[in-house]
Amino acid sequence: MYPGQTRTLRLPAIQTGEAPKEFFYGYTYLRDQGYKVAIGDNRQDPATAYGKTILYYERLRNRALNFGFTSSRVMALADQISAYDIALSFTDFFSLSMGLYRHHIKGGAKLVGGFHGLSDLIDRVNPALRGYARTRILKAIFGLDHLFFSGEVDREVAIEMYGIPRQKTSYFPFGVDTDFWHPSQSPSPHHGILSVGSDPSRDFASLISADVEENIRIITRLNIAAPTHRPNVEIIRGSLNNSPITDVSLRTLYQNSKIVVVPLKDVWQPTGCSVTLQAMACAKPVIISHIKGLWDADILKSGENCLLVPPGDPQALSQAIHDLQKDPALRKRIGQEARKTAERNFTLSRMENALETMLLAMPPKGQNRA
């Protein structure tokens, strides 16, 4: 379960090579292996007037808290979940909601919650309400049969922070579709610096503040404005030259960029992973903030397959950009090694194998929770 409507619409595009597979998180693999699988849309609205009233209230409450659970969304999916042996959520707040409101779900389905940044969630809550939020998180964790984490560091911190039994958790590594994300098949122009992402943990302020004259394109849905004093900075929201930014056009933007920059706030969440790996698979040199939640820190080697810079440091970011700008041979070498690293370590198979291993280890439907 994830915001499923848009993904379902993208399924035909996979067959024509116009969309990558990674954001189905292994669904297509399980389907092709013969498992009975279905996509649930965790933004599905409740069918009843009562459920819609609850949803309206929960939206207002969650907006005020900057933190949220939603019983109405769980109720909307309860019948579908009940028809299956295992239900997997791939978004943090729906995972918590599913655990907190599991009493709406009948039939004994195993509830498995996925997390991209559980350790950071409580920091976004008003300090006066963090005690309340922690209590709800603990109850939600107890209501889940299993938890899986996109980041090894986030998993370790969450285990310690919330006292989660280790055997109740798994690491679910991310991989990208290296068949879709690939280097340009022909010589392509290199148009400056590209930065992509809409996660709140993006640190575009540091990139905008960097002492860089090269043109910078930032593709984001975050509410940031192009600074009037930096005419070389362009903010793009969903469309370019009156055309929507599709997966294919994003791939072209990667391929045509000179450098891809992934500026991040210093969080436990493995944020920036997808953009970094997509760009690496396109053989682009990537500059990434070396955050405390950096994923696969043993594989990402600064100066070899990427450049790592301290988070929140515009001066270090400027220097890394200048180093790559002035040295085409360095850009080419790091880009080539980035592609090799993606092919060796970051393909879809590692995500698919981890998913299947986790599912096969689940106790039979109806057994008590861990």
| Number of residues assigned to the chain | 370
Tens of pLDDT, residue by residue over 252-295, are 999 999 999 999 999 999 999 999 999 999 999 999 999 999 99
Domain carrying residue 332? 193-346
Predicted pLDDT of residue 19:
93
In a domain, 102, yes or no: yes
pTM reported for the whole predicted model: 0.93
Reported for 305-313, long-range contacts at CB under 8 A and 24+ positions apart, including other chains, are 305/280, 305/334, 305/337, 305/338, 305/340, 305/341, 306/276, 306/280, 306/334, 306/338, 307/334, 311/203, 311/206, 311/263, 311/264, 311/265, 311/266, 312/203, 312/206, 312/265, 312/266, 313/206
- Domain assignment present for 180: no
On average, the pLDDT of the chain sits at: 93
Q: 187 lies in a domain?
A: no
Q: Are residues 100 and 150 in the same domain?
A: yes
Domain assignment present for 99: yes
Report the CATH number at residue 201.
3.40.50.2000
pLDDT in tens, 40-70: 999 999 988 988 999 999 999 888 888 889 9
